Structure 1
Amino acid sequence: MGERAMLHRLWDKWSSIYVAPDGGKALCGAAVVNLASDRPIRFPGLVLEQEGMELKSADVRPIIAGVRDYNLQNECIVLDSCKYFVTATYENMYCARREDAPTLPWGGAIIGRTPAYLVISKYQGTYGAAAKALAATEVLMEQITPRSS
């Protein structure tokens, strides 16, 4: 099975469990973006899978640049016309809160980096929702990270 087909199969299974645009699950939106130019999918920044979001390659280029330069915490991230600011960083994950959170329902985004992909997920809610979103994003990241032999 090819890499793209395997990613699509994993995405379908994962998104059916964790993503519901109406907010009924851990995430209200998610996307997988290609990072590596040496993979069979040779276009860095190409949005490979998404649900509950309307991202284009041009939307994710600043995010990719911030992740590669290790300065995403200094940038404003725009996802679906909402601004997010990184509030916490971990080894390969960035947690961001929505700028307009006091006027709209609370929410945020999780951005996770694997060697080949960027996983972007959005959630609605406060701390409990953020923890669930972080866990759901980690599940997909583990599934799509190549295993070393």
Structure 2
Amino acid sequence: MDWSFVQKSWDKWASTNIGTSGEPLKAALLINYDPLRPSRLLSTIAEQEGIKISPIELSEFISFIKRNKLQKESFVIGHNQYMVTSIHENWFCARCLNTSKPVGEGAIVMQTSAFLLVALYDGSVGTASRAMVSVDQFVWLLNRRNL
């Protein structure tokens, strides 16, 4: 695994896509995850920006992914509960169920061969589209290195 490439790519991508108003994402989380590795090897947080996830939250989220009942269950990231709204081959979108924001909140989860990228955004369709483009760009970089 080329950790220096992952860290440099994350730092560059996160600095231009996460955080301040006007950026497509409010937070993102890169999880070291390989569904084919032995179950005794725990998934860990490789990088995170704009959010702090506890080991218990990470464990519950990974259990949600492994159960593969995406449209039947919800998951929690941070203080919010999300319900999956659409599923595609290596990614899915979810909307926040307990938001007080009038424009809504959402999550995009994409899987590569070695990682799960969880991206959180505020807003409606336009913001979701910008968030998707941003997430897709980072995943493309990882996929180029087969990560």
Q: Deviations over 1:9-42 (max 9, x none)?
A: 000011111111x433000000100002888xx9
Listed as ranges, the gaps of 5+ residues in structure 2 are none
**Residues 1:70 and 2:68 aligned together:** yes
The TM-score with structure 1 as length reference comes to: 0.85
Partners of 2:36 and 2:2 in 1: how far apart? 13
Partners of 1:7 and 1:38 in 2: how far apart? 20
Per-residue deviation at 1:68?
3.2
Partners of 2:12 and 2:42 in 1: how far apart? 24
Q: Structure 1 residues 93, 61: CA separation in 2 closer, same or farther (over 3 Å shift)?
A: same
Listed as ranges, the gaps of 5+ residues in structure 1 are none
Q: Structure 1 residues 23, 43: CA separation in 2 closer, same or farther (over 3 Å shift)?
A: farther
Say whether the 8 Å CA contact 1:84–1:108 is kept in structure 2. Answer: yes
Q: Structure 1 residues 68, 111: CA separation in 2 closer, same or farther (over 3 Å shift)?
A: same
Say whether the 8 Å CA contact 1:31–1:47 is kept in structure 2. Answer: yes
Q: Deviations over 1:76-124 (max 9, x none)?
A: 11111111111111111110001123x3241100111111000000000
Partners of 1:97 and 1:37 in 2: how far apart? 24
The TM-score with structure 2 as length reference comes to: 0.86
Q: Which residue of 1 aligns with 2:121?
A: 123
The CA RMSD measured in Å over matched residues stands at: 2.2
Matches within 5 A, 1:7-22: 7-20=6-19, 22=20
Q: Which residue of 2 aligns with 1:93?
A: 91
The number of aligned residues is 143
What fraction of aligned residue pairs are identical, expressed as a percent?
29
Q: Which residue of 2 aligns with 1:4?
A: 3
Partners of 1:8 and 1:23 in 2: how far apart? 24
